[in-house]
Amino acid sequence: MSAPQDVFDADTGNRSWWEKLRAFRQDKPHLFLLLIMVVIPLFLMPSSTWAVLTLSGLAMGAMLFLMASGMTLTFGLMNVLNLAHGSFISLGAFAGATVLTMWLNDYTSGSLWVNLVAVVPALLFALVVAGLLGVLFERLVIRPVYGDHLKQILVTVGGSIIVMELLQVIWGSNEIPVPRPEALRGALLISDAIPIIGGIALEKYRLLAVILGLGVYALMLWVIDRTRLGILIRAGVENREMVEVHGYRIRLLFLAVFVAGSALAGIGGAMWAMYREIITAHMGEELMISVIVVIILGGLGSVRGCFYGAVLVGLINLYVGYLEPRLAAVATVGLMVAVLMWRPQGLIPVIKV
């Protein structure tokens, strides 16, 4: 007569911590991996270094998320592989840098107000310009090749080359220095009184990147989880045909998502430009490797997966870059390979019908 009681126990409490850990690994692979990623380096370096690297890694992750989220949605919703995504990043960087240079050239030591007034329009301009290129690109380049991955790869790589050459025509082929606004230079010093992170300097710009990244992530989750547009996007990822059967024009929905994704890539590029303080037309192309790793790692088409993928890539880059600089580039791809061997579908896969 004790059998039902046993079943009850097995279902609720009384599981060993090992079983709980396994269940956690199974149910929340992204958090499990993030935890490992953050905890292990803590034993390999001084805690203040760890804190600085973690913030920098999160900042890089936030910027990578901005750049990658559009591409993962484009793929998830319409099965379109847009390898020209990197050129939207470059365009955003140049657009943002242009506004910043115009605004800040005479104000290198400007007030906080002038600085903020420069950053916001720079990001907005990057967003608008990249978004407009998105509209054009969807019409001219993507539309004729829906449903054919091979053609998409060829055509978008071609489109990407054209955009990058045009950037060089407009802005020249030299590296361009980007002024970082005065208010965002320097660092915040943490009081010595606080344990672990006491006494370290947190770079202001990285804090801003983290805040902006989290803000965009929260906004995207809200749109996707709570709004009608979000329901449509999720439904479209699952089954395009049935979305049309209900009377919605999926092409229009896709155009909107594609433009939003391009605009985000633009913002990401502008943020990256201010972070690196130097840009080239090919920067987007170079970032594409990380972007592709991020979206594969996270599970193609998944916004949540993309966010965690980006944070993981950012963190591993910084940690390994500190511990063994020569391995930093290998670490990103190595992380992807390891995750894919564990979960071939990515961290948070999107299930298609």
Partner 1 sequence: MSEPILSLREVYADIDQYHILHGVDLDVPAGELTVLLGRNGAGKSTTLRTIMGLTTLTKGQVRFQGRDIGGTATPAIARGGIAFVPENMGIFGQLTVRENMVLAAVSGAMDEQRLNWIFEVFPPLKKFWNRAAGNLSGGQKQMLAIARAVIEPRELLLVDEPTKGLAPAIINDLADAFEQLKQQRVSILLVEQNFNFSRRLGQSVAVMSDGHIVHRGTMAELAEDEDLQHELLGLGLGAHQ
> Which residues of the shown chain bind partner 1 in the complex (CB under 8 A)?
228, 231-232, 234-235, 237-239, 241-250, 350-351, 353
CA distances from 6 to 2, 15, 304 (A): 7, 12, 37
State which residue, 246 or 326, has the beta carbon closest to partner 1.
246
Minimum gap (Å) between residue 143 Cβ and partner 1:
15
Measuring CA to CA, which residue among 261, 211, 186 is closest to residue 62? 211
Going by their DSSP bridges, the two strands 278-279 and 176-177 should be labelled as: antiparallel
Residue 110: both structure tokens together: 């400007």
State which residue, 1 or 245, has the beta carbon closest to partner 1.
245
Minimum gap (Å) between residue 228 Cβ and partner 1:
7
Separation CA 184–CA 31 (nearest Å): 31
Minimum gap (Å) between residue 78 Cβ and partner 1:
16
Minimum gap (Å) between residue 82 Cβ and partner 1:
23
Minimum gap (Å) between residue 353 Cβ and partner 1:
7
State which residue, 95 or 243, has the beta carbon closest to partner 1.
243
CB 137 within 8 A of CB 262: yes
State which residue, 247 or 344, has the beta carbon closest to partner 1.
247
Separation CA 167–CA 158 (nearest Å): 14
Q: DSSP states of 227-284 as a string?
A: SHHHHHHHHHHH-HHHHHHTT--HHHHHHHHHHHHHHHHHHHHHHHHHHHSEE-TTHH
State which residue, 339 or 350, has the beta carbon closest to partner 1.
350
